[in-house]
Structure 1
């Protein structure tokens, strides 16, 4: 028992060192920095939207279906609304929903995964059964049913996407927590009389930083894409300016049929770019934590010697 307790500080120190190495690896990774730069641009534009376009973005500002010009950089819709204003203001709603759903789904996944892995037995069986039920339910039909019967609004979209999106993250985090639960430093914390909450959140969770980060990014991508899909089907609040509603109105107004590409491409491209940026960061997390994905850089002197 004494040897297990003495081993706890050493392994905890090693875990903190690993987390510092993980953060340093992300900062020096080109994929991560590229993804973060793209996300930073969208976040800054979303925050600056009321300054860039202080008026209502849905108001009519010009003739209908104008092509991009010096006055309307992305043209106008069939109603005469400025597409650039709609796109930038739409970033506020879409990013808000995506980030909120991502954090909420990941938080629920952490709670369920840690509790299931740490307590085991009946609690593990009950939580695993609940998780499996949500995993087996068809996602899109459940989204449509919940969104159709609940009052429209951003709160409803966030609630629906969180309810349908937490199970996958809980399953992944439970598997990771189970492997850490068997480590010696966790056993030492149990023997020393630490409370269950402290062991889960101070001993197990910090060693899951990489998998939590990857899960969070995946949930954010899911939130943004699922919101756009629901709103494109007309199941969101059509009075809200968002990328999904921009695509919904573009489809209703026949932008594709009339060749008004500037109406639907900006919002669709923004969704794709945000998903691409988050996927880059997610892949960078895998690179940092998985040695098999790291590129082995040969010294320059070796390469020159081989060329000679």
Structure 2
């Protein structure tokens, strides 16, 4: 008798697995919402976010949903407008850090020889330098602004990705399919882009997300310390002015919480996606997840799991 239960064939491929992962989906939705907020900010809240529009230090009300700052600026408008610069710096810095790290790591790992020695030496120099203290020193001597902050974060953040990708390249270089391509006479660039890069998708994505989380946090932190352009509206400068106005001491929590919550949510969303990537690519985590899902499925379908558990409790 044919069974009515249809077993769905699992889709293969990293991208499909990522799309079917609940953590990745939840993180991606949150990130997309913030990106839409940043892009549509000028349309949703037209006007100058630095303008004085109401009484100073007014708590949230029907007129100002998130209250006003100590200078009488709209906190909601500053939070929405500030998202654009902070997210732009964070994601663009993460992308550049990932690209530089990939280029240096691939060149060092695949070419080997003196190229590997020189690039590994340069990478090790940047790795032993403390990242954030070095960023503070560099930012203090350059012209303040988002471009400067992004440049500082790129200088201090590319080396870790390069080190990880070099190690992965060294491992892939010894695989049979790469050796076969070398023996068949394929060019270096063709081997890298056709044989090696597709097998590093998860590592590249994880490196990009980690660099973006670091960049957003560092950008907000540097501007909070006053090392950015305090005349611009960003999440970091919002916290800088709130600190200057002693917002928490005067009870004006509404000038701190919205921006802080946005930073935390974006970081949480990126970490969710990063954890999903690790869950998909790590065999141990994947096997544990599959085992848990099988147990749940057996419980729901009244399979063998239920009597075993009951017998255990009865004993």
Q: Matched residue of 1:258: which SS?
A: coil
Q: Which residue of the other structure, out of 46, 50, 58, is the alignment partner of 2:50?
A: 58
197-206 or 297-306: bigger deviation: 297-306
Say if 2:178 is the partner of 1:178. Answer: no
Q: Which residue of the other structure, out of 226, 249, 253, is the alignment partner of 2:241?
A: 249
In structure 2, the residue matched to 1:21 is 13
What CA distance in whole angstroms lies between the structure 2 residues aligned with 1:209 and 1:166? 18
What CA distance in whole angstroms lies between the structure 1 residues aligned with 2:222 and 2:270? 21
List structure 1 segments (4+ residues) > 6 angstroms apart after TM superposition: none
- Structure 1 length normalisation: TM-score? 0.91
In structure 1, the residue matched to 2:76 is 84
Higher-RCO chain (CA-CA 8 Å, sequence separation at least 6): 1
What CA distance in whole angstroms lies between the structure 2 residues aligned with 1:170 and 1:25? 26
1:243 deviates by: 0.5
1:218 deviates by: 0.1
1:144–1:307 CA distance, 2 compared to 1 (3 A)? closer
What CA distance in whole angstroms lies between the structure 2 residues aligned with 1:265 and 1:170? 36
In structure 2, the residue matched to 1:7 is none
1:21 deviates by: 1.7
Instruction: Within 5 Å, give how 1:59-208 maps onto structure 2.
Output: 59-208=51-200
**Higher Rg:** 2
Structure 2, gaps ≥5 residues long: 1-10, 311-315
1:184 deviates by: 1.1
* 1:52-84 CA distance string (max 9 Å, x none): 111011111110001001111110000000101
Say if 2:296 is the partner of 1:288. Answer: no
What CA distance in whole angstroms lies between the structure 2 residues aligned with 1:267 and 1:286? 29
1:140 deviates by: 2.1
298-307 or 212-221: bigger deviation: 298-307
What CA distance in whole angstroms lies between the structure 2 residues aligned with 1:198 and 1:154? 37
Q: CA RMSD in A?
A: 1.3
In structure 2, the residue matched to 1:8 is none
180-189 or 127-136: bigger deviation: 180-189
1:304 deviates by: 4.7
Structure 1, gaps ≥5 residues long: 1-18
- Structure 2 length normalisation: TM-score? 0.89
Q: Matched residue of 2:218: which SS?
A: helix
Q: Which residue of the other structure, out of 22, 35, 41, is the alignment partner of 1:43?
A: 35
1:305 deviates by: 4.9
In structure 1, the residue matched to 2:7 is none
